[in-house]
Structure 1
């Protein structure tokens, strides 16, 4: 078979061209394209690393800002609480002053009312004594036909009222 007889002659030629093509592919791809790809990968790696570093720096800055904000908020909250406490204390003092003023007015009115009551009581007691003395004179005159002096009748009524 002639095809099999040519095999050894063609085989060495094919092997030669196969090695030439693979060598050419190695030179073009390995020496030309691969360094460019590796440079691109390296640039991407360095870009990713710098982006991660920038993100970490931004995260740290945000954390610092958040801490500062929280501190400001706590300080503001404490200041507001102090203002509220001051307002409460001022309101309490004002209320106490108003209550003291009103209480003084009430005490004055109460003393005046007690004085009026005492005066009315004394007036009523004097009137009762007068009416009782007149009644005692009248009773003594009607029952015993005795005329009693107004001073004696008043003294007797006062003595009875003093004993109760």
Structure 2
């Protein structure tokens, strides 16, 4: 086989060209491109680390702001509840005062009305006694033909009204 016999002749030249291409590739990639890629990777890693550090600081600041916000909201809620309770108590006192004044006014009106009713009842009873006494006088005169004294008729009517 002629291919096998040529190996010795071409093997050295192939090794030579392999070393030249390997060296060229090493120079171009290893010395030219790789440092640029590595510096880009290092810069990116540094940027990510800086961003993570600033994000951690921002998160801590946000947590502190949130804690302050929650404390302020709790304080505001407590103050609002206190003001609401004071307003309710004040409104209750004002309502009680108004109710007391209204009850006093109603009591005075009720007393006045009861006195008026009692006076009207007394007048009505007096008029009923007078009318009944006159009716007794007229009836006894018409039915029995008797004349009854006005005082005797009033006494008889008063006696019957108290027993009835």
Q: Same fold per TM (> 0.5)?
A: yes
SS at match of 1:83: helix
- Which residue does 1:117 correspond to in 2? 117
1:149 aligns with 2:149: yes
Structure 2 vs 1, CA of residues 17 and 160 (structure 1 numbering), >3 Å: closer, same or farther?
same
Gaps of 5+ in 2: none
Q: Which residue of 2 aligns with 1:97?
A: 97
Residue 135 of structure 2: aligned partner: 135
CA distance in 1, matches of 2:110, 2:67: 62
| Higher mean displacement: 8-17 or 40-49 | 8-17
Aligned counterparts of 1:157 and 1:7: Cα–Cα separation in 2: 167
SS at match of 2:148: coil
The Cα of 1:158 is off from its aligned counterpart by 0.8
List aligned pairs for 1:1-164, cutoff 5 A: 12-13=12-13, 15-27=15-27, 29-31=29-31, 33-164=33-164
Q: Distance in 1 between matches of 2:24 and 2:142?
A: 166
Deviation at 1:9, TM superposition (A): 5.8
Deviations 1:5-62 (A, max 9, x none): 9986665355335424533543554345534432332232122112112112212321
TM-score (structure 1 length as normaliser): 0.78
Q: CA deviation at 1:153?
A: 1.7
How far does the alpha carbon of each residue in 1:89-126 deviate from its partner, in whole angstroms, 9 at most, with x for none?
22222222222212221221111111111101000101
CA distance in 2, matches of 1:16, 1:133: 163
Q: Give unpaired runs (5+ residues) of structure 1.
A: none
Cα displacement string for residues 117-151 of structure 1 (whole angstroms, at most 9, x for unaligned residues): 11010001011111212222233333334333322
Over 3 Å counting, the alpha-carbon distance change for 1:16 and 1:150 in structure 2 is: same
Give the number of aligned pairs. 163
